[in-house]
Amino acid sequence: MRVLASASAATSKKESGYTLVIVLMISVILLTLLAAVSTVVMAEAKGADRQAQKKQAYYLAEEGIERTIAALFQSVKSSSVPTDQSTLDAWLDSLGLPWNEANPAGTIEMQAVYQGQGLIQLTSIAKLEHSNVQQQIETTIHLSGLPKFLTYSVGAGEEFELEGNPRLTVNGSLYMNGEAKLKNGLIITNGTLDLGPDAKVKEGDLKNYTVRSLQTAIDLPSYQELYDQVKDYAVVETKETIKLSELIRQPQKIVFVERDVHLIIDTDTDPSQSLLIVAKGNIEVKPQEGKQKDTPFRSFSAFLYAPNESINFALDEFHLTGGLVAGEKIEFKGGQGNTKMEITYDNQLFSSQGIGEVLGFADSEPTIASRRSR
């Protein structure tokens, strides 16, 4: 009996040992599972928090892009688009762009790079406060506003001259990139005097104007380039003398002249009769009468363009309303200071008769070409 009791006690102890091992193994497994679940939960929580931070940074970067585009969209309606990185930098600087800004959520850094053909790449980098999370959005926009040379009341590619003592008022900006002979009779209102890199003007002649120095010259499209673009909508003249009254009766509002031409201002017109007159040679703007003192005051609307030659105003009394003048050389001849010459720029000139649509820049609203984030 004593032997059996001893064997039974040994068996009971062994079973208790197995049970303890099993309990310990189960406890280890449960603790391992609990640790694994906790790790997964914590990782998911961290991942969700980081994802939320990334989304917050993305919205912050998007805010930078949207604010910059809004400023550019508004500006391009009233000014020309950049043609290279230097003019882009100057343009953005005038708008207070690109900018770095801090707010309670974080910081926004804007960058802009000119890519050519009117394309500008905007990069917005947003960094969250008290975090290393950042998001970057790159957006390429296409600006299709007015070409630069069409944003001036008067644009002289090489030479600008006031001969005699004319009184000329330019309502808008004036561009020149060569020798300029300015006199007290020149008045510029609502605009600037923009000087190209090759402009030669006496320092004393600039004191009455707001002057801007451009780093690059403004290109003037050639006669042939412009003709190839709009030939289906234009009429070609070969006469040496053309009257304004004849031109406004034509259905075509774009006129190309394949030679030097005398443009006789024999009637008044209004912006609804706007003309685009492009000459391969020189344009001389003259009155109908032989004597200037008998010439009536004329008010007319036109864009006169002589990309390879000169435009000469031998007309004392006139107001070029809703128009502009551009050529290699621009010359105004006047009397003794009692003449009245006035040119008023109007950027709606090109859309009033559908001319802008033909030239491809009637719609000045920029468009978004591409967009990506990372």
Q: How far apart are CA 51 and CA 45, in angstroms?
A: 10
In the prediction, which pLDDT does 361 show?
47
pLDDT by residue for the chain (374 residues), tens only, comes to 544 455 555 556 556 667 777 777 887 787 887 777 777 767 676 667 778 888 888 888 888 888 888 877 766 655 556 666 777 777 777 767 766 777 777 888 888 888 766 678 889 998 988 788 889 998 888 765 556 777 788 999 889 988 877 788 999 889 999 888 887 678 899 888 999 899 998 888 888 898 988 888 887 888 887 888 778 888 999 999 999 999 988 888 889 999 999 999 999 987 777 788 999 999 999 888 654 555 677 888 888 999 889 999 988 788 888 778 999 999 988 765 556 888 988 766 655 545 555 554 444 455 665 666 66
In the prediction, which pLDDT does 311 show?
94
In the prediction, which pLDDT does 329 show?
92
Q: Can you name the residues that pair with 241 across neighbouring β-strands? A: 262
In the prediction, which pLDDT does 208 show?
86
Domains of the chain: 1-146+363-374 (3.30.1300.30), 148-346 (no CATH)
Bridging pattern class, strands 119-128 and 106-116: antiparallel
In the prediction, which pLDDT does 288 show?
81
Taking CB atoms within 8 Å and a gap of at least 24, the contacts of 202-206 are 205/180, 206/182
Other beta carbons less than 10 A from residue 104's beta carbon:
5
Residue 81 class from Cβ within 10 Å (0-12 exposed, 13-18 middle, 19+ buried)? buried
Other beta carbons less than 10 A from residue 13's beta carbon:
10
Residue 351: its H or E element: helix 349-352
- DSSP character for 133? -
Task: Report CA-CA distances (Å) from 143 to 17, 73, 120, 180, 356.
Answer: 84, 9, 8, 32, 15
In the prediction, which pLDDT does 347 show?
63
Q: Can you name the residues that pair with 56 across neighbouring β-strands? A: none
DSSP-assigned letters across all residues of 50-84: HHHHHHHHHHHHHHHHHHHHHHHHHHHTTSPPP-S
pTM of the model: 0.61
Q: How far apart are CA 130 and CA 126, in angstroms?
A: 13
